[in-house]
Structure formats: structure tokens, C-alpha cells
């Protein structure tokens, strides 16, 4: 099971945040900068942008991902753990506390993470080299496979209920009590981390000593002061919240649109909502619709499709407390109609007939489940298709908590049956508009919106007026109005015509539901298809209610801009029947493709450390006369402190010195995919082993700077390798360009620049003085249709190839549809980097055809192949 495109984007967003964190070192600064670059600065007056980082757990990085119900949050989290641990020190214990709010969700999570046949378990094993152990609370308390040695050698996932940490009852208080089973951890539990009111060798302190990663499932349930205290008590280093509905304090690092789930066939949308005149109509339609869907499913399987057994969720009327007599009575009435007993199960807070049943099994007979909202979380059976509410017709129907249970799409695929690609809500409510609002709330709580349902109301005004006079007890318990010795009924079985064995007359309402489903699904699919080429971050932000300052195209040039598709480099992908890749399939070229065989073992280790260390200066105040000072440079000489450090370092064996420095350098270098960590470690070790004792002392003194020099050296070596392979593959046509990138209909610059004529958008991004000088002259040329200040950091157009995503400064389009990419450079820029970008740009120009040009422009002293400002303007004027 591989990540869907939107799931991969979540992981990419998380990785991008860690790049900001490495740069800024502080969680809040990194988060605020991350979002400022995405959507611009936060404006507290208008609410535009992402509000600042909420530091509710001060000692941890705390991030949230927002993914709608059925979007695969758990699978995303499994993949995210690798990204998180990769960003941390190599010697950090791989300890994870997976927090869930309910016992049924706990059981499900433990089962799925532990089952070798389940994709979650398989993914964790794949990412962590099959060294994964999942623990429940009882395993932890008993020390079953959980000890100081094991947590250093494997990924330890501790699945725990919120209430266990809050320690409200005697059983949960075991978390805070001395436990001899955990004595192996005693040396690693420092007195300073022992939680007040607990004993040292208690499980809570063992967890605190591990400084774990927290995964908080359904994190919207962990917003109270007590819950925040719980998170702090675990002493985490990182917290990842999983939720469809982030709350006020959530630091959202990535969010997914419902559109993406529909596009990937993850959910059954739209929801078809049908309002009947009475409860008998609800029951009859639900039974017939289930039967019709099952016939469709049987035919689907006969034609080569997957096995599906559609299930109805009967949502009984909610009372002050759940009375099982009501549910038993409903079950008895369904049996009286002719439904087999084994096909009906009750699932409430007090009665669970689903325990131990695999609803997905072909041998399972269950087709009807009676509940109120006990299925509201932790339900993952995609066979639920119909939510039939049996609430009193005089009340609004509250489906808020349970609606998400019918949205999950079986087998995550589009089926060759329109009816089996949708979900259904059947009600009988006089207050139908209020009911619709609850359906919208239910969709929103699952991460969807009011666009994702279609409704029809057939309840007559007369019935609505009558219903307003009836009370709940009058309807369900008519004996309270008239003296009667008969048992009250949930509905009148005589008014329901249905037999699962005999072909009976199908009520017209079912045909109406079918007709409505087919027509509305066609319109919905068309909307998805149209959106597939236009989906953008701005649409996602808008869908989740984030206010952003966005700037549209100018109407006069919008049509021309929308027709342009810029080419990118692509690489041929071998035919793969398993992945449905045909002969001639292509994918965007990534630098990783060019470096798959790159090895550092045969590369030189020559880095000019000496010249750098011999030219170190400090700027300090110098007294030129009494009371008068000026700032002057001073060469840094060895001091007494340095000599003491030198003596200390020299006292250690050289192997020890090297080991310490290698660990430091690797932490500073971080990850450099696709180069393996082990390959980098060997290279760094080889560099250090070739240094003299004095050079090691210098290295230790300037280790931050020296680490940066090593990273640059590795990047330079990789660039040389990548460019060589790139040239070879272009020569043999393994790499070519294909149309790929379109202008967004709106842009979100992190900062806007001064308004200059003939821009593509109503406002463009910020520019430096050289860029502004260049574009002011370009904008007035008669042959220029429009120009655009290209945005960086994943927002704009990048040249992919042997350099990592080169974003030219400008995209200029002439009236004859000539597209010119322009990169501006000050004369103070690194010419080696500029030359590489120029070679990439010219390779793109040559491969793309006569319509496309690339120019590098210097204010003066242009490198070979580039132009000075005046010359570039003269050439563009002639295009």
C-alpha cells in the first residue's frame, strides 16, 4: 500500500517544516515562517493568513494535520514517523506514544498496527527494518518485551487511552506507581524528570525519560486543560495531531481537501438525503434500497468486481439514557417483517453485538445495525451505505456524530455501479431544514462541506403541521394517549411492505432515490473532473475556512495565460503491469533519479579547511584615544581557553575524537537523499581520519563552519555527478521535456511588490532593486503581453534537473506567445552556482523548442552565456 498523492503531499509538507526548523531552530519561528511563505503574513485584524504558533506544550514541537474522515490519517501517521525520526538525533530512542480517546479505537489501532497482513503494520516494518513492537498498557506495565535495551533497538509504539494518562481510577493509577517490572530503566530516569506525585520507577516516568513522539488520534478531543496537562506530563519531544476538525489551538502544518478524497475514490460522495413523510417510509425505503444495492453488488462481483455487502445503520431515537428495550423492540419488529435474526445487530453504549465480528468477511451475514451514535468513532467498515434515522418526525434529526460512518469507500476504488459509489441518508423530519444543517455539521465534523450532499424532501406541509402538534412520547408510545394493553411499537409493521425472499413491489421512493443518485453523481463527477486540472492550495485553504489574501489574473490577459502549459523535464519509466504503467510512461525528472548510483566512497576528500581557519577575524571595539573607540577587525589567535580545550581533546584517543565529531557533523548535515546516511558517515569519517591532531583541534573549534563546508563539498560532488548523468540521458533521449505546468488562476505571494504595468496578476510578488529595474523597462515594451514575478518554495514554476528546483525570477510572455524565463543576478553572486543554473536553463530552452527562451541577466560583469541588463532588454524587445 503506497501513499496517495494527497497523502504524499502531507508528508512533503511535514518534511518542508523540518527544513524551516533546521534553519530557524525554534518551533514557533519555523511554523510562522513556513506559513508566511505559503500564504503571506498573518493579519490579526482581518484574520488573513495562518495565525501564529500556539505553544501549549512548550518543550515539544506540536503540529497538526487535517485530513477528512476516510482519508487515511493512521496510514499517513505511520509514514510520518519516519520523517519525524529522520529529523532527530540518531541516538534518540524510537519511542512513540499513540494516544486514542476511546477503547474501541484503541483495540482497532493495536490490531491494525500489530497485524503483519495489515498495510499499517507492513508500512512500519518497511520503514523501520522490521524492528517494530506495538504495546498495550498491560504489556507496558508487565514489562513484556519492554525494557531499556529493547527501546534502543526498535521502534516501540505504545498505544494508550487518554484516560490511562489522566489516571482517574485505580487501574489507571498504575501508570504513576512504582513498578519492579520496569527496573531496567532506573538508571535512565533522572530525578529531575520524575513527575510530581509519582514514584520514580513508575511507567509515566519511564515514558518521560524516553522523551517520546506523541501521535494524538482524533486530537480535537484533547483540547481541554486536563488534556494539555496530560500531553505535557508525557515530556514529549514532538506531537503530531491527527484530526478531521482541528480546534483553535491546532498548529496545522498540512491540510487536505475533501476534493482530494473524492478524486482518489476514498469516499462515497455526494451524500443523497431523502426526507419521507413518516417512519414507516424510512424503514421501507431503507430495506428496499439495501436490497437493490446488494443486487447491484452481486452483479458487480459477477462482472469481475469486488465483494460488497451493503449495510444499513438504523439510528434509533436518542433518549436521556439508552434503553435496550427500545433497540430490542426495533430488532423484533424487523424480524417480524421477515429479516433474519442473524442479519441484525445492536451496537449501543450498553449492548455490543458486533464484538468479535468481522463485518468485511464474506461469511458475515450482518446487513442491519441498530445504534444511536456508538459508532461515531473508530468505525472503519466501508460496507455501511445507508443511514436511516428513526427519530420522531416532529424533531430535527441529529446525524452529526454518525454521518461519517457511511462515507468510507469500499476498497478505495471507483466501482462500475453509480449507486455503489454514493452514500444515503433517509429521514422523516418535519424540521427538515434543521436536519439538513445537522447533516452539514456532520460533513464538516468529518472534514467535508455543504457542497457534498444532495437532498429531496417529500413530506407535505399538512404532515409537517400535524407533526408539530405531536410529542415524542405521543408518537412512539401511543398507549399514553389511549388506554391500551399492547406493547408500544417503533413503527407500524403493517405499513411496511418488504420481503427479502420474495420479489415485492418496490416503492416509488426508491426509484426516485436511484434517479436522484445517478443524476447528482454525474454532476458531481463532472465537477471533480473539471477541478482535477484546476485544484490549487488556494481552493484547499478556502474550503477549510482559512482567509488568505489572493490576487487573480488581470482579465485582459487571463485567457492567454490559461492556455499556456510550460514544459518540464520528464524521464521514461519502465513498463510495470503491477503499477499499471504502460510502455512509454513518464514521470517528472527528479535529481534523485540522476543520483541513484552515486557513491561517495570513490570521491575526493579535499576541503580547504586550513585557509579558512587561518583567516578568521573578529570585529571588536578598539580604543584609539582615552574614551574614544572604533570598530576594527582582529585576527583570532589561540587563547588560554583554546589551549585548555586543546589539551582536553588531545587527552582523548583519536578514535574517540573522530567519533564525537562525526556524530556532530552528521547531525548538522541532516539528510541528503538519495545519498544513504551510512554513505555520508563513512565519507565524513574518512575526512576526519586524514586530519592531523592539530587539524582536529581546529575542526572542533570551528565545527559548525567546517560541517557546512563538508555539506557543501558533498553537494558539489553530487552536482557534478548529476549533471554528467543528465547530459548523457538528454543525449540518448532518455530525458525530454513535456507540457506540465500551468499558471494558477490566483496567487498568494508572501509579500507583494510595487505595482508595475502589464503584470499577469493584479499584484505580484516582492522584488529587489535589480529585479524591479529590469521589469520596469520590460513592462513598457510594445511586444510584451504580460510578465509574472515567479514565486519560489513550491508555488511557482521550477526548472527540474541536475540542480534542485531552480525557480527563475520572471516569466515573460510576448504577444506572439513566446515564453521567456529570466533569472537576474547581482555581480556579487556565486558564479559557480549561477553557471550551473545557466547550463540547466539553456538545456531546457534547447529541449523545449523555439517558443521558449531562457536568459540570465547580470547588472554588470555577466558570466559567459549570460547578458548584462541593457543587452537583455534589447534582445527581448526583438522577440
All residues at 6 or more sequence positions from 523 whose CB lies less than 8 Å from its CB, including other chains: none
pLDDT over 50 (residue 166): yes
What pLDDT does 375 receive? 60
Q: What is the predicted pLDDT for the residue at 621?
A: 55
**Alpha-carbon gap, residue 339 to 332, rounded angstroms:** 9
- Measure the CA–CA gap between 373 and 347, rounded to whole angstroms: 9
pLDDT value at 81 more than 90: yes
Res 826: pLDDT: 83
CATH architecture for the domain at 5-256? 3-Layer(aba) Sandwich (3.40)
Please check whether the two domains, 262-531 and 743-877, share a CATH topology: no
Record the cell numbers describing residue 524, joined without a space.
458531481
- Residue-level pLDDT at 792: 86
Chain segment 542-573, per-residue pLDDT in tens: 655 677 888 999 999 999 999 999 999 999 87
More confident residue, 347 or 323: 347
pLDDT of res. 484: 37
CA atoms within 13 A on the CB side of 138: 3
Q: Which residue has the higher pLDDT, 433 or 199?
A: 199
Which residue's entry shows cell 473524492? 262
Give the whole-angstrom CA distance, residue 85 versus residue 83.
Answer: 6
Share of the chain above pLDDT 90, in %: 31
The pLDDT assigned to 477 comes to 43
Judge contact between 151 and 114, C-beta under 8 A.
no
DSSP code of residue 490 = S
Q: Residue 352 has what DSSP assignment? A: B
Instruction: Name the residue with higher pLDDT: 839 or 658.
Output: 839
Q: Among 61-65, 285-289, 433-437, 564-568, whose mean pLDDT is lowest? A: 433-437
CB 49 within 8 A of CB 550: no
Cell for 677? 546516511
Q: Looking at residue 474, what is its pLDDT? A: 43
**Lowest-confidence segment of 315-329, 349-363, 718-732, 849-863 by average pLDDT:** 315-329
pLDDT higher than threshold 90 for residue 762: yes
Of 51-60, 232-241, 514-523, 858-867, the one with minimum mean pLDDT is 514-523
CA dist 262 and 270 (Å) reads 9
In the chain, where are the structural domains located?
A: 5-256, 262-531, 609-728, 743-877
Which cell numbers hold the place of 193?
524528570
Task: Give the model's confidence band at 514: pLDDT under 50 very low, under 70 low, under 90 confident, else very high.
Answer: confident
pLDDT computed for residue 720 by the predictor:
92
CA atoms of 31 and 55, how far apart (whole Å):
11
Q: What is the pLDDT of residue 446?
A: 56
Residue 370 has pLDDT above 70, yes or no: yes
* Residue showing cell 563538508: 710
Asked whether the predicted pLDDT for residue 136 surpasses 60, the reply is yes
91 or 614, higher pLDDT: 91
Give the residue, 261 or 716, on which the prediction is more confident. 716
* Listed residue (494, 509, 463, 492) closest to 285, CA to CA: 509
Q: Examine the pLDDT at 483 and tell me if it is beyond 50.
A: no
Average pLDDT of the residues in 277-305: 88
Statement: residue 323 has pLDDT above 70: no
Q: What is the pLDDT of residue 373?
A: 63
- Confidence label for 475 from pLDDT (cuts 50, 70 and 90): very low
Contact 210, 151 (CB under 8 A): yes
- Cell 527501546, located at residue: 151
**The C-alpha cell that represents 668 in the structure block:** 548538522
- Determine the pLDDT at residue 51: 86
Nearest residue to 739 via CA among 843, 616, 849: 849
Phi, psi of 736 (to 5 degrees): -150, 175
Distance CA 71, CA 92 (A): 30
pLDDT of residue 793: 79
Residue 842 has pLDDT above 60, yes or no: yes
Per-residue model confidence (pLDDT) at position 634: 54
Tell me the mean pLDDT in the region 325-332: 80
CA 103/CA 552 separation, integer angstroms:
49
Q: Which CATH architecture has domain 262-531?
A: 3-Layer(aba) Sandwich (3.40)
Confidence bin at 487 (pLDDT 50/70/90): very low
Mean pLDDT for 310-320 is: 76
CA-wise closest residue to 370 among 388, 347, 352: 347
- pLDDT value at 95 more than 90: yes
Interval 381-408 mean pLDDT: 71
Cell numbers that stand for 372 in this block: 444511536
CB atoms within 10 A of CB 879: 14
pLDDT at position 321:
46
Grade residue 448 by pLDDT with cuts at 50, 70 and 90.
low
474: left (phi > 0), else alpha (psi -120 to 50), else beta? alpha
Least confident interval from 350-354, 566-570, 632-636, 748-752: 632-636
* pLDDT value of residue 774: 95
How many residues in total does the chain contain?
Answer: 879
pLDDT at 648: 55
Continuous H helices in 578-702: 591-594, 609-613, 640-651, 654-669, 677-689, 693-701
User: Higher model confidence: residue 142 or residue 634?
Assistant: 142
295-314 burial by CB neighbour count: b if 16+ within 10 A, else e?
ebbeebeeeebeebbbbbbb
What is the pLDDT at residue 557? 95
Architecture field, domain 743-877: 3-Layer(aba) Sandwich (3.40)
Contact call for residues 560 and 817 (beta carbons, < 8 A): yes
Kindly report the average pLDDT of the chain as a whole number: 80
Residue 184: DSSP 8-state: G
Whether the pLDDT of residue 578 is over 50: the answer is no
The whole-number average pLDDT for the span 356-360 is: 87
For residue 215, pLDDT over 90 is answered with yes
Amino acid at each position: 500500500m503506497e501513499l496517495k498523492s494527497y497523502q504524499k503531499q502531507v508528508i512533503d509538507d511535514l518534511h518542508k517544516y523540518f527544513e524551516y526548523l533546521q534553519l530557524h531552530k525554534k518551533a514557533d519561528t519555523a511554523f510562522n515562517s513556513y506559513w508566511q511563505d505559503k500564504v503571506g503574513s498573518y493579519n490579526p485584524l482581518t484574520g488573513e493568513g495562518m495565525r501564529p504558533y500556539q505553544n501549549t506544550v512548550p518543550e515539544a514541537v506540536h503540529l497538526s494535520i487535517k485530513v477528512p474522515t476516510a482519508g487515511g490519517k493512521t496510514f499517513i501517521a505511520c509514514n510520518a514517523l519516519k520523517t519525524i525520526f529522520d529529523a532527530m538525533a540518531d541516538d534518540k530512542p524510537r519511542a512513540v506514544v499513540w494516544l486514542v480517546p476511546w477503547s474501541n479505537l484503541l483495540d482497532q489501532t493495536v490490531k491494525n498496527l500489530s497485524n503483519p497482513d495489515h498495510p499499517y503494520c507492513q508500512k512500519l516494518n518497511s520503514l523501520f527494518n522490521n524492528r517494530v513492537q506495538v504495546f498495550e498498557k498491560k504489556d507496558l506495565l508487565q514489562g513484556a518485551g519492554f525494557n531499556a535495551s529493547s527501546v534502543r533497538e526498535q521502534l516501540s509504539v505504545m498505544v494508550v487511552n487518554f484516560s490511562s494518562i489522566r489516571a482517574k481510577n485505580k487501574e489507571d493509577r498504575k501508570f504513576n506507581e512504582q513498578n519492579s517490572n520496569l527496573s531496567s530503566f532506573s538508571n535512565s530516569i533522572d530525578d529531575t524528570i520524575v513527575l510530581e506525585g509519582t514514584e520514580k520507577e513508575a511507567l509515566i516516568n519511564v515514558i518521560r525519560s524516553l522523551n517520546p513522539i506523541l501521535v494524538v488520534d482524533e486530537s480535537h478531543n484533547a483540547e481541554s486543560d486536563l488534556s494539555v496537562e496530560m500531553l505535557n506530563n508525557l515530556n514529549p519531544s514532538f506531537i503530531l495531531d491527527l484530526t478531521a476538525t482541528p480546534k483553535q489551538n491546532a498548529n496545522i502544518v498540512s491540510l487536505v481537501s475533501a476534493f482530494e478524497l473524492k478524486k482518489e475514490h476514498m469516499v462515497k460522495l455526494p451524500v443523497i438525503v431523502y426526507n419521507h413523510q413518516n417512519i414507516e417510509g424510512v424503514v421501507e425505503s431503507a430495506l428496499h434500497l439495501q436490497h437493490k444495492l446488494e443486487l447491484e453488488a452481486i452483479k458487480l462481483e459477477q462482472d469481475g468486481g469486488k465483494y460488497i455487502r451493503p449495510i444499513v445503520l438504523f439510528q434509533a431515537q436518542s433518549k436521556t439514557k439508552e434503553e435496550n428495550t427500545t433497540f430490542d423492540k426495533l430488532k423484533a419488529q424487523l424480524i417480524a417483517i421477515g429479516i433474519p435474526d442473524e442479519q441484525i445487530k445492536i451496537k449501543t453504549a450498553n449492548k455490543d453485538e458486533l464484538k468479535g465480528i468481522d463485518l468485511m468477511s464474506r461469511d458475515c451475514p450482518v446487513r442491519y445495525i441498530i445504534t444511536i451514535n456508538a459508532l461515531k468513532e473508530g468505525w472503519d467498515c466501508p460496507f455501511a451505505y445507508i443511514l436511516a434515522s428513526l427519530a420522531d418526525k416532529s424533531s430535527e434529526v441529529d446525524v452529526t456524530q454518525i454521518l461519517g460512518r457511511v462515507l468510507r469507500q469500499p476498497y478505495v476504488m471507483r466501482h462500475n455501479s453509480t449507486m455503489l459509489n454514493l452514500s444515503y441518508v433517509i429521514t422523516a423530519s418535519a424540521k427538515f431544514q434543521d436536519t439538513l444543517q445537522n447533516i452539514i455539521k456532520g460533513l464538516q465534523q468529518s472534514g467535508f462541506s455543504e457542497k457534498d450532499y444532495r437532498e429531496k424532501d417529500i413530506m407535505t406541509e399538512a404532515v409537517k403541521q400535524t407533526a408539530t402538534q405531536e410529542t415524542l412520547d405521543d408518537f412512539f408510545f401511543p398507549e399514553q394517549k389511549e388506554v391500551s394493553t399492547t406493547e408500544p411499537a417503533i413503527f407500524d409493521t403493517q405499513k411496511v411492505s418488504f420481503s427479502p425472499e420474495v420479489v415485492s413491489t418496490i416503492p416509488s421512493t426508491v426509484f426516485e432515490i436511484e434517479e436522484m443518485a445517478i443524476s447528482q453523481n454525474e454532476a458531481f463527477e463532472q465537477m471533480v473532473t473539471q477541478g482535477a486540472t484546476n485544484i490549487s492550495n488556494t481552493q484547499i485553504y478556502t474550503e477549510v475556512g482559512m482567509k488568505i489574501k489572493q490576487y487573480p489574473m488581470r482579465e485582459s490577459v487571463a485567457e492567454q495565460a490559461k492556455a499556456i502549459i510550460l514544459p518540464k523535464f520528464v524521464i521514461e519509466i519502465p513498463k510495470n503491469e503491477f503499477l499499471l504503467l504502460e510502455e512509454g510512461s513518464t514521470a517528472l525528472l527528479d535529481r534523485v533519479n540522476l543520483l541513484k548510483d552515486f557513491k561517495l566512497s570513490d570521491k575526493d576528500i579535499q576541503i580547504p579547511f586550513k585557509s579558512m581557519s587561518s583567516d578568521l577575524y573578529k570585529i571588536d571595539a578598539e580604543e584609539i584615544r582615552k574614551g574614544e573607540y572604533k570598530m576594527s577587525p582582529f585576527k583570532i589567535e589561540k587563547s588560554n581557553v583554546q589551549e585548555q580545550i586543546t589539551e582536553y581533546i588531545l587527552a582523548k584517543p583519536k578514535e574517540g575524537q573522530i567519533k564525537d565529531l562525526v556524530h556532530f557533523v552528521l547531525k548538522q548535515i541532516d539528510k541528503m537523499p538519495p545519498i544513504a546516511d551510512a554513505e555520508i558517515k563513512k565519507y565524513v569519517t574518512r575526512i576526519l581520519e586524514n586530519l592531523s591532531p592539530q587539524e582536529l583541534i581546529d575542526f572542533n573549534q570551528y565545527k559548525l563552519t567546517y560541517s557546512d563546508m563538508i555539506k557543501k563539498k558533498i553537494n558539489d560532488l553530487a552536482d557534478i555527478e548529476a549533471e554528467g548523468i543528465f547530459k548523457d540521458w538528454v543525449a540518448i533521449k532518455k530525458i525530454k521535456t513535456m507540457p506540465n505546468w500551468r499558471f494558477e488562476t490566483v496567487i498568494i505571494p508572501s509579500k507583494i511588490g510595487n505595482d508595475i504595468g502589464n503584470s499577469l496578476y493584479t499584484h505580484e510578488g516582492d522584488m529587489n532593486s535589480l529585479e524591479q529595474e529590469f521589469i520596469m523597462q520590460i513592462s513598457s515594451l510594445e511586444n510584451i503581453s504580460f510578465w509574472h514575478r515567479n514565486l519560489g518554495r513550491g508555488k511557482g514554476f521550477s526548472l527540474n534537473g541536475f540542480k534542485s528546483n531552480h525557480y527563475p525570477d520572471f516569466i515573460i510572455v510576448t504577444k506572439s506567445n513566446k515564453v521567456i524565463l529570466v533569472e537576474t543576478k547581482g555581480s556579487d553572486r556565486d558564479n559557480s552556482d549561477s553557471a550551473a543554473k545557466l547550463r540547466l536553463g539553456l538545456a531546457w530552452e534547447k529541449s523545449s523548442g523555439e517558443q521558449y527562451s531562457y536568459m540570465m541577466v547580470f547588472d554588470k560583469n555577466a558570466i559567459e552565456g549570460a547578458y548584462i541588463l541593457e543587452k537583455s532588454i534589447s534582445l527581448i524587445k526583438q522577440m
